[in-house]
């Protein structure tokens, strides 16, 4: 007998998304875009370092009072932190699960290997791992101050300078920011495709935006340790 | 031309395979790649060895049967099917590596032959319009805007060879699946099943053990029919739309 | 007794075709045909061999009707059947152009195009059904070419005066096949079709005079198995691969139809083969198949060869007055647009005179220099760009710069299993559809009609007519593998394969295939003579004997073994070739694709002889009376049964294109 397309399954929207490779990529794209927006704000805030300790520390203080009196002290900050943690976890877990799948999907590799795809595309996974490690260290260093040599709460300017005065810390930071640039370069464009906003006509624009974002964010963040190492900020 | 071939030989799915080297001589640049393999096989048979098994049928680039990874490229160095690749694309004295499509969802049957029935199951999940014979209205009852018809055609050109999966670093079948989803979803005839089609086909694609898409773009580069990478973008859009509507 | 000493038996009559006005016959037959109660349908199963346009469409439609369908294809997927390679288009009498087309005109054109060797009732039904095919395919989502208003585009094709050909760029066959494949896939998913890919039918099981099952080999495991049903439908395509080089797919073969013929189905008009004039010539002995290029190239290209033989200068260095535009010279009215058979034969003639061009002198030029001069390169590119690209990919020559070289190649076989109006063969319960039967194209098929016939048979004709048979043979006497007849057929099949493996000679299957193919091309190709055909009939048994002495098939039967597949197909070609030559020999007239040099008009055109040959020749297989019991001895002389062709609506005339 003629049958209609199967209609027996009606899972939730989230269930549909998380249950499929395409949906998981959507979750990665959305969380990635949120983190990207955060990074833009974060960079703008950080660049205040070039205007002296007073302005930078005041900015740090302001972050704790955003939304008052509607929001309680530091609530905005905590909301942002929760959103970011959710994004990082979603992005990371989805990436891990998808990567496991991808590797399992080709149990036997080719004998004749060829360089495939662009450098940015091929480094998404390891770049992501570097970024994850970086985030952990970054929080321990400049948020909780656990590993910060100065660890003076309420004085982010001094803490930051103290941290970057160690060349190896600055170097790790710079490497992580280069990885970030590559990650954004493929990630932004890729997220656009995953969210279905890409098209032949828009491709050049999207690729250009991805390149500009990658470049600006990398250059912006890298300028901090460089400035500290060169003594322009101290 | 004289060539050294290194070919994947595997007697059956459950025994391990290995690359084996063969010399072939007297190859004409006008031969197709498969005719070169025919020549090798004739020599192997007469020498008392088993010929190399490979899938092929129409030999004019449309049936999608041929499926060789040549020097690491699905269908070889030209953007076409293996059967339309000619030996003039190689040089005298070259060593050529010939391997089967590699993917968990395409298990090796023998030598260079793989089982691509997972593709059929993806189509069975929804790659059709449910219209029983005789139930159709007049062909002119529903005009289709030319851009939509052209879009549908561009995706309908897929020959189901599997080069996209073979080339993808993740062994993903997104380009294959999206080609059929887009072909049918853009047409008014395919609209009633638009949501269930994309959801079921993607779900089956996942169940078959294909990898996910990282938009590396290798699939579209390898596709002998030029299915564009944006095909995947369009399917992603359809998927999210369908997931929302079916909440 | 020599093979050519055939007997003439009783005439064969199509008892199913109703009389009355031709336009009402199909309705009459559909009404007369008994129906099967929907509740009983799922108890009845139909075996369908092949998944091309005819088989795919039939499998899907029968499953929709409620029958249990068991379907087979040798390819790894039903989507790869060779219907996929058809380029040009599909005819339908829609008259969307308001250019005077009608069902009757399509009927008329097809009977005339078939050179009056087809059955009027069948052809009229085909024209009627053509209209529904387009509706069905559009509803399936087949992306036909459309105009800016969103309606379907059509073009004129194959020298017809109306624009009735629907197309999807140069891939019409692909798109129609995928439509059928998708409909079939839907039924597979629903559990109504049990699909067996990579499974090849090797014999037919006939029990108590009725087709009840098949023997098939799983090409992956090598396992020989039996499958049973209430009816068997062969949709296994044509037998053009008997010529080795053809436009058929490499694995297209005649085994299903030939084995059915050996089990009692008459084979009709085997000598009717179509040679397509515009194929890319072969480049050497390594050639494995030939590639067709759309006939539409002849609309703007001019065909020529040098005036003197042995002129080896490059084409561009041969001055205009030393070129022979032979079609324009011989047929000034139609020029380069003469029908396929005439264009093919003319090319052969000039090559036989030693004026052919390219490797081996087996080619003629198809020159676009004038067209480029007249329309500009951009316009030529727009019209033919994809064909030019394809040509350049294969030959590495740029057809914008140097003329294309073309040569005719075997393309389609009009002959096939004899079927009645219900598409049933002479074995009750065995049906043949699509290219596998003989019914609709007569001695020559018109362009864009193969797709039409395959889909007409599969979607509309067979699903209506098979009901009548199934209703008369309810499922109450199941046959299984334990039946002595089934066991015997399995044993014979296993013995045949075992023998092929056991010979262990010194020649490959391909070498025999090439030898029989070259013989057929020479003596049973574009032009046939009595002496040539007799020579071929002498030679074929020798090749067959040598085959069974010297064939070498490596490996075993219990595994994936492509050499064994090939060798087994050649066994059947070696017998079919003989019948084709005999049929060509007995038909002392020229008609359509069959040109007998003895029967031509004073100016060298095909001369039909209606008084003697206005019939379809249906051959009955006879086993050899003496000689070895196995198959190496070949068949005995067959029996000819004539089906007289009656023309009530289209009166036979001699074609003229001068």
HEC string for chain A: CCCCCCCCCCCCHHHHHHCCHHHHHHHHHHHHHHHHHHHHHHHHHHHHHHHCHHHHHHHHHHHCCCCCCCCCCCHHHHHHHHHHHHHHHHHHHHHHHHHHHHHHCCCCCCCCCCCCCCHHHHCHHHHHHHHHHHHHHHHHHHCCCCCCCCCCCCCHHHHHHHHHCCHHHHHHHHHHHHHHHHHHHHHHHHHHHHCCCCCCCCHHHHHHHHHHHHHHHHHHHHHHHHHHHCCCCC
Residue of C nearest to B53 (CA): C562
pLDDT in tens, C273-329: 999 999 999 988 899 999 998 888 888 899 999 999 989 999 999 999 999 999 999
Domains in chain B, number: 2
Residue C606 to residue C604: CA distance in whole angstroms:
7
Other beta carbons less than 10 A from residue B185's beta carbon: 25
Residue C324 to residue C314: CA distance in whole angstroms:
15
* Contact flag A196-B233 (C-beta cutoff 8 Å): yes
Q: Examine the domain organization and report whether B84 and B170 are in the same domain.
A: no
Q: Look up tokens 């070129």; give the residue.
A: C323
Burial of C624 (0-12, 13-18, 19+ CB in 10 A): middle
Listed residue (C120, C146, C170) closest to C17, CA to CA: C120
Residue of C nearest to B60 (CA): C291
Distance from CA of A95 to the nearest CA of B (A): 10
pLDDT in tens, A77-103: 999 999 999 999 999 999 999 999 999
B132 contact residues in C (CB cutoff 8 A): 61, 64
- End position of a domain, from candidates B110, B133, B153: B110
Other beta carbons less than 10 A from residue C648's beta carbon: 10
Which CATH number is B216's domain given? 1.10.1060.10
Domain ranges of chain A: 23-105+118-229
Strand ranges in C323-476 using DSSP code E only, listed in sequence order: 323-324, 364-367, 404-413, 416-417, 430-432
- Residue-number span of the structural domain to which B205 is assigned: 117-245
- End position of a domain, from candidates B110, B140, B162: B110
pLDDT above 70 covers a percentage of chain A that reads 95
* Contact flag C250-B57 (C-beta cutoff 8 Å): yes
CA dihedral in degrees (C182, C187, C189, C192; nearest 10)? -160
* B contact chains, 3+ CB pairs < 8 A: A, C
Q: What is the mean pLDDT of chain C?
A: 94
In a 13 Å sphere around the CA of C279, the CA atoms on its Cβ side amount to 25
Residue B119 to residue B222: CA distance in whole angstroms:
17
pLDDT classification of A1: cutoffs 50, 70, 90: very low
Is B28:B84 a contact under the CB 8 Å cutoff?
no
Q: What is the mean pLDDT of chain A?
A: 92
Please report the number of interchain residue pairs, chain A to chain B, with beta-carbon separation below 8 angstroms. 158
Q: What is the DSSP string of C281-312?
A: PP-STT-----B--GGGGGT-EEEEESSTT--
Tell me how far CA of residue B68 lies from CA of B10, B74, B75, B111, C291, in angstroms: 14, 6, 5, 11, 21
Phi–psi pair at C197, nearest 5 degrees = -75, 170
Q: Examine the domain organization and report whether B87 and B127 are in the same domain.
A: no
Kindly report the CA angle at C450 between C445 and C451, in degrees rounded to 5? 160
Crossing angle of helices A203-229 and A21-46, in 10° steps, is 40
Record the tokens describing residue C594, joined without a space. 């069959």
Is B58:C249 a contact under the CB 8 Å cutoff?
yes
Is C506:B46 a contact under the CB 8 Å cutoff?
yes
pLDDT classification of C626: cutoffs 50, 70, 90: low
Distance from CA of A11 to the nearest CA of C (A): 21
Q: Look up tokens 């250009």; give the residue.
A: A208
- End position of a domain, from candidates B92, B110, B128: B110
- pLDDT at res. A2: 43
Residue B113 to residue B111: CA distance in whole angstroms:
6
Q: Look up tokens 């595994």; give the residue.
A: C559
Residue B39 has pLDDT above 90, yes or no: yes
Record the tokens describing residue A94, joined without a space. 């989805």
- pLDDT at res. A10: 65
Residue C111 to residue C647: CA distance in whole angstroms:
9
Which of B57, B184, B190, B227 would best serve as a mutation to test chain C binding (most C beta carbons within 10 A)?
B57
C510 contact residues in B (CB cutoff 8 A): 38, 42
- pLDDT at res. A127: 94
Residue B210 to residue B219: CA distance in whole angstroms:
13
DSSP state of B99: E
Active site residues of C: 340
* C contact chains, 3+ CB pairs < 8 A: A, B
Other beta carbons less than 10 A from residue C342's beta carbon: 21
Residue B97 to residue C268: CA distance in whole angstroms:
48
- pLDDT at res. A45: 95
pLDDT in tens, C128-168: 999 999 999 999 999 999 999 999 999 888 767 899 999 99
- pLDDT at res. C628: 54
- pLDDT at res. A5: 53
Distance from CA of C192 to the nearest CA of B (A): 12
Which CATH number is B102's domain given? 3.10.20.30
pLDDT in tens, B122-144: 999 999 999 999 999 999 999 99
Structural element, H or E, at residue C217: strand C210-218
Segment C613-631 mean pLDDT: 83
Residues 6+ apart with CB under 8 A from C137: B139, C90, C144, C176, C179, C455
Structural element, H or E, at residue B110: strand B108-110
Encode burial over C307-334: b for 16+ CB neighbours within 10 A, e otherwise. Answer: eeeebeeebeebeeeebbbbbeebbeeb
B29 contact residues in C (CB cutoff 8 A): 396
CA dihedral in degrees (A221, A222, A224, A225; nearest 10)? 140
Q: Examine the domain organization and report whether B104 and B127 are in the same domain.
A: no
Domains of chain C, earliest start first: 34-273+412-472 (3.50.50.60), 276-410 (3.90.700.10), 484-609 (1.20.58.100)
Is B17:C40 a contact under the CB 8 Å cutoff?
no
Q: A23-105+118-229 has which CATH code? A: 1.20.1300.10
């Amino acid at each position: 007998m003629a049958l209609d397309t199967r209609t027996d399954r009606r899972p939730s929207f989230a269930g549909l998304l998380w249950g499929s490779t395409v949906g998981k990529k959507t979750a990665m794209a959305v969380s990635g875009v949120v983190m990207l927006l955060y990074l833009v704000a974060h960079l703008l805030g950080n660049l205040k370092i070039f205007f002296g300790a007073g302005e930078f520390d005041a900015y740090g203080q302001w972050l704790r009072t955003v939304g008052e009196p509607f929001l309680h002290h530091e609530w905005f900050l905590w909301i942002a932190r929760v959103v970011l943690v959710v994004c990082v976890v979603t992005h990371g877990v989805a990436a891990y699960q998808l990567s496991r799948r991808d590797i399992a999907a080709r149990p036997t590799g080719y004998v004749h290997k060829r360089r495939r795809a662009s450098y940015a595309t091929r480094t998404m996974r390891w770049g992501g791992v570097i970024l994850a490690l970086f985030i952990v260290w970054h929080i321990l260093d400049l948020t909780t101050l656990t590993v910060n040599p100065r660890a003076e709460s309420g004085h982010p300017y001094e803490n930051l300078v103290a941290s970057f005065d160690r060349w190896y810390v600055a170097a790790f930071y710079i490497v992580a920011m280069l990885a970030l640039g590559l990650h954004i370069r493929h990630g932004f464009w890729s997220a656009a495709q995953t969210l279905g906003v890409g098209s032949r006509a828009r491709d050049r624009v999207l690729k250009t935006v991805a390149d500009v974002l990658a470049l600006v964010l990398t250059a912006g963040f890298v300028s901090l340790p460089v400035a500290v190492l060169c003594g322009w900020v101290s | 031309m004289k060539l050294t071939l290194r070919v994947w030989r595997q007697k059956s799915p459950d025994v391990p395979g290995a690359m084996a080297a063969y010399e072939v001589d007297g190859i004409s640049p006008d031969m197709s790649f498969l005719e070169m393999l025919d020549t090798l096989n004739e020599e192997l048979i007469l020498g008392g060895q088993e010929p190399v098994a490979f899938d092929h049928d129409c030999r004019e680039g449309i049936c999608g049967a041929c499926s060789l990874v040549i020097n690491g490229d699905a269908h070889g160095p030209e953007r076409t099917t293996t059967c339309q690749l000619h030996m003039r694309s190689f040089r005298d004295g070259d060593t050529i590596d010939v391997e089967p499509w590699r993917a968990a969802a395409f298990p090796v049957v023998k030598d260079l032959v793989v089982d691509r029935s997972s593709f059929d199951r993806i189509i069975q999940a929804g790659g059709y319009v449910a219209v029983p014979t005789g139930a159709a209205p007049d062909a002119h009852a529903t005009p289709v805007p030319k851009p939509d018809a052209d879009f549908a055609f561009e995706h309908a050109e897929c020959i189901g060879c599997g080069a996209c999966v073979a080339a993808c670093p993740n062994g993903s079948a997104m380009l294959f699946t999206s080609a059929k989803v887009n072909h049918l979803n853009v047409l008014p005839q395919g609209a009633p099943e638009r949501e269930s089609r994309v959801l079921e086909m993607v779900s089956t694609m996942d169940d078959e053990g294909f990898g996910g898409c990282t938009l590396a773009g290798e699939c579209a580069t390898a596709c002998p029919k030029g299915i564009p990478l944006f095909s995947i973008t369009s399917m992603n859009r359809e998927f999210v739309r369908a997931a929302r509507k079916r909440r | 007794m020599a093979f050519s000493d055939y007997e003439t038996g009783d005439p064969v009559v199509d008892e199913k075709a109703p009389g009355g006005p031709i336009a009402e016959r199909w309705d009459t037959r559909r009404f007369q045909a008994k129906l099967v109660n929907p509740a009983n349908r799922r108890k009845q199963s139909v075996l369908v061999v092949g998944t091309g346009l005819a088989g795919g469409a039939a499998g899907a439609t029968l499953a929709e009707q409620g029958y249990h369908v068991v379907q087979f294809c040798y390819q790894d997927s039903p989507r790869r059947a060779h219907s996929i390679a058809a380029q040009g288009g599909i005819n339908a009498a829609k008259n969307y152009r308001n250019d005077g087309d009608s069902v009757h005109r399509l009927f008329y054109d097809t009977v005339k195009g078939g050179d009056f060797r087809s059955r009027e009732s069948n052809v009229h039904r085909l024209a009627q059904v053509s209209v529904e095919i387009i509706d069905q395919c559009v509803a399936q989502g087949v992306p036909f070419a459309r105009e800016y208003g969103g309606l379907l585009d059509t073009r004129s094709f194959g020298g017809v005066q109306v624009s009735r050909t629907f197309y999807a760029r140069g891939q019409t066959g692909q798109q129609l096949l995928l439509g059928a494949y998708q409909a079939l896939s839907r039924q597979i998913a629903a559990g109504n079709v049990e699909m067996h890919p990579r499974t090849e039918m090797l014999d037919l099981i006939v029990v108590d005079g009725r087709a009840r099952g098949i023997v098939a080999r799983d090409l992956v495991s090598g396992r020989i198995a039996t499958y049973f049903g209430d009816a068997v439908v062969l949709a296994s395509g044509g037998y053009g691969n008997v010529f080795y080089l053809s436009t058929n797919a490499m694995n297209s073969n005649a085994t299903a139809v030939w084995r059915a013929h050996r089990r009692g189905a008459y084979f009709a008009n085997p000598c009717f083969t179509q040679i397509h004039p515009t194929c890319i010539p072969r480049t050497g002995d390594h050639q494995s198949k030939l590639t067709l290029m759309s006939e539409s190239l002849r609309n703007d290209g001019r065909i020529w060869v040098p005036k003197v033989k042995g002129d080896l200068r490059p084409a561009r260095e041969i001055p205009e007055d030393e070129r022979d535009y032979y079609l324009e010279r011989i047929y000034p009215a139609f020029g380069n647009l003469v029908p396929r058979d005439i264009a093919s034969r003319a090319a052969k003639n000039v090559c036989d005179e030693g004026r052919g061009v390219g490797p081996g002198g087996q080619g003629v030029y198809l020159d676009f220099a004038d067209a480029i001069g007249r329309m500009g390169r951009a316009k030529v590119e727009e019209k033919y760009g994809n064909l030019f690209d394809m040509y350049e990919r294969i030959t590495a020559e740029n057809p914008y710069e140097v003329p294309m070289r073309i040569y005719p190649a075997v393309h389609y076989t009009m002959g096939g299993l004899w079927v009645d109006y219900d598409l049933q063969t002479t074995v009750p319960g065995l049906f043949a559809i699509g290219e596998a039967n003989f019914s609709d194209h007569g001695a020559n098929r018109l362009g864009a009609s193969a797709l039409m016939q395959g889909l007409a048979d599969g979607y509309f004709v067979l699903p209506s007519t098979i009901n009548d048979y199934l209703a008369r043979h309810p499922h109450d006497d199941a046959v299984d593998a334990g039946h002595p007849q089934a066991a015997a057929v399995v044993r014979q099949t296993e013995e045949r394969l075992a023998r092929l493996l056991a010979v262990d000679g010194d020649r490959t299957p391909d070498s025999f295939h090439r030898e029989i193919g070259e013989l057929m091309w020479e003596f049973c190709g574009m032009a046939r003579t009595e002496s040539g055909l007799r020579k071929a009939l002498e030679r074929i048994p020798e090749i067959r004997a040598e085959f069974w002495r010297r064939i070498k098939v490596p490996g075993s039967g219990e595994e994936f073994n492509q050499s064994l597949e090939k060798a087994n197909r050649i066994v059947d070609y070696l017998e079919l070739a003989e019948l084709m030559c005999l049929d060509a020999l007995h038909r002392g007239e020229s008609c359509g694709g069959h040109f007998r040099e003895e029967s031509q008009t004073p100016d060298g055109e095909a001369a039909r002889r209606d008084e003697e040959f206005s019939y379809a020749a249906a051959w009955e297989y006879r086993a050899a009376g003496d000689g070895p019991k196995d198959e190496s001895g070949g068949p005995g002389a067959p029996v000819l049964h004539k089906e007289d062709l009656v023309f009530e609506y289209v009166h036979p005339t001699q074609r003229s294109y001068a």
